[in-house]
Amino acid sequence: MDVSVFSTKPYDRRFLDAANARLSQPHRLAYLEVGLNAETVLLAQGSQAVCVFVNDVLDAGVLERLAAAGIQLVALRSAGFNNVDLAAAKRHGITVARVPGYSPEAVAEHTVAMMLALNRNIHRAYARVREGNFALDGLLGFDIRRRTVGIVGTGKIGVAVARIMKGFGCGIVACDPCINDECVAMGAQYVPLDELLATAQIITLHCPLTPQTHHLIDAAAIARMQRGVMLINTSRGAVVETRAIIAGLKSGAIGHLGLDVYEEEGDLFFNNLSDEVLQDDVFARLLTFPNVLITGHQAFFTLEAMTAIAEVTLKNLSSFEQSGRANYEVSIEKLA
């Protein structure tokens, strides 16, 4: 199958090429560094499928043009699919496939790493020591043991976080429309979101981005949290309202903030902008806080996860080419 692979970095090529070489019938992969959007959609001409990542734009207009170009399959290199207009894809007869559960542990471990770094001020201590400053003032942390951790979204990643935090000796409260038996077996208590916000000293977000979860954490939600709460988001950027988060940091309502995602990350993340002036004033404001730790959407980025993403993505392509059905199709009916 001829596939236009958008938003590719050298590491994407490395893992996709390795997985493709293991197939009995390899695909013809055309790598494109640019992201997919209205301006680049014509680059997909001549392919039967496009392979895209989290910040590629697949709105109604782009999907219409993909269909006109003969594209039959959108193969996502991610579990999330909030960047795809599923109704438009169905209308144009385009199948959408994703990579579910590629490595929940990768994201969970990064989440906990952010908790530990923020609590013990490791990011600040690292910079100090490199400058010969060995003072401990301002680096005081707290014991995580016996703290209450609130987990919003208890799918595979949320469960993996619960498992780790249970090992730290934490209490777990959880919020999810679907109760996960594994979480319950670990002693997690499922509560309404308002109760979770009021109860937990550490809150970590692992829910998908949907109309219901867009800006789930806003000014009203922050007002319900314990003062000085630690908030971690490794899910999707728009689950939190950034301006409300900044107000919470300024007032002291939020004591620690860890972000691996940002609601306007499309023009920032996955690019080297070190020689440029940041044009996003809101993001630049976030960087001024000493109690904020931001990583550039790297929570998924492990050897195991990248291997799994490449293998499942290519299996989706192969299955669709052979049978007209991908292994992990996204069904719009299930979202209704």
78-128: per-residue pLDDT in tens? 988 999 999 999 999 999 999 998 889 999 999 999 999 999 999 999 999
What CATH number is given for 104-294 in this structure? 3.40.50.720
Catalytic (active site) residue 265: yes
Exposed, middle or buried, 212 (CB in 10 Å: 0-12/13-18/19+)?
exposed
Q: What's the rounded Cα separation, in Å, for the pair 246 and 196? A: 21
Catalytic (active site) residue 110: no
2-40: per-residue pLDDT in tens? 999 999 999 999 999 999 999 999 999 999 999 999 999
pTM to 2 decimals?
A: 0.92
Q: What's the rounded Cα separation, in Å, for the pair 9 and 308? A: 17
Could you tell me if 112 and 167 are in contact, meaning their C-beta atoms sit under 8 angstroms apart?
no
**Residue 71 CA: distances (Å) to CA of 3, 51, 52, 326:** 9, 11, 13, 14
Tell me which of 27, 98, 206, 265 is the catalytic residue.
Answer: 265
> Where exactly are the structural domains of the chain?
2-102+302-335, 104-294
The pLDDT assigned to 102 comes to 84
Catalytic (active site) residue 236: yes
Tell me which of 236, 241, 263, 311 is the catalytic residue.
Answer: 236
Beta strand pairing call for 148-152 and 49-52? unpaired
Beta partners for 52? Answer: 76
- Domain 2-102+302-335 CATH assignment equals 3.40.50.300: no
Of 47, 66, 43, 45, nearest in space to 2 by CA: 47
- Do the domains at 2-102+302-335 and 104-294 have one common CATH topology? yes
